[in-house]
A and B are shown apart, each in its own frame.
Chain A
Amino acid sequence: RKEVEQDPGPFNVPEGATVAFNCTYSNSASQSFFWYRQDCRKEPKLLMSVYSSGNEDGRFTAQLNRASQYISLLIRDSKLSDSATYLCVVSEDFGNEKLTFGTGTRLTIIP
């Protein structure tokens, strides 16, 4: 079983729609949680950290459910520029920067 599991997609979504991604992780000792965005042939870039209380950044909302070991990302009013691969990422502890990535979910916004 993979440590971080995501639906690879692809998700093809019309512009303006709302899209949700989910991710599960297997290590209950995981301490930090993130969503990264990766454009084609580019490096991953931090989109947002994820907290148990949930957090919002503009059109993006992230949620963490520690009991279910489940992380979600919601994108509202999707834009063409949101087309990318979204990587779910967890970190085991605060003393090591080791990040464990999911395989990513590919999103394409259709005009």
Chain B
Amino acid sequence: ETGVTQSPTHLIKTRGQQVTLRCSSQSGHNTVSWYQQALGQGPQFIFQYYREEENGRGNFPPRFSGLQFPNYSSELNVNALELDDSALYLCASSLGLGPRAFFGQGTRLTVV
């Protein structure tokens, strides 16, 4: 096990609603990244937080927002959910800004 935990594991939301996904990083890790994995695709980078500051963002609209807390846990918020937001959302943690990432088990979001 990587020590990265995500909650909830599964979620069903209605189009237009808002959702908050949570991630607890591995002990000692101060960097958290979020990825979206649609069915049949590889994960796509949403954004990264390093020491509570955003440190890079992928090609996602502003309704995808995040937060990192002093204990380095993180939240991903998505507003105005669309059907295409249905995906597996993965959180990855690491120590510092190196590329070695440890993934949590993911949150499977279904938007109906």
Contact = CB atoms under 8 A, between A and B. Distances in A.
A96 B104 contact: no
Given A98-B48, A101-B43, A104-B41, 11 more contacts: A34-B99, A41-B108, A42-B105, A44-B103, A89-B42, A96-B97, A97-B33, A97-B48, A99-B99, A99-B101, A101-B35
A57 interface: no
Interface of B: 2, 31, 33, 35, 40-45, 48, 55-56, 58, 90, 92, 94, 97-106, 108
Contacts of B98: 94, 97
A11 B97 CA distance: 35
A103 B40 contact: yes
B93 to A, nearest CB: 9
B41 A98 contact: no
Nearest to B91: A43
A43 B103 contact: yes
Nearest to B100: A46
A72 interface: no
Contact of A43 (B41, B44, B90): B90
Contacts of B105: 42-43
A32 B103 CA distance: 17
Given A87-B42, A103-B41, A104-B42, A98 B103 contact: no
A42 B43 CA distance: 12
Contacts of B45: 98-100
A95 B97 CA distance: 5
A91 interface: yes
25 contacts: A8-B40, A34-B99, A42-B106, A43-B106, A44-B43, A45-B103, A46-B100, A46-B102, A91-B99, A94-B98, A96-B55, A96-B56, A96-B97, A97-B56, A97-B92, A97-B94, A97-B98, A97-B99, A98-B58, A99-B33, A99-B101, A101-B35, A101-B43, A103-B41, A104-B42
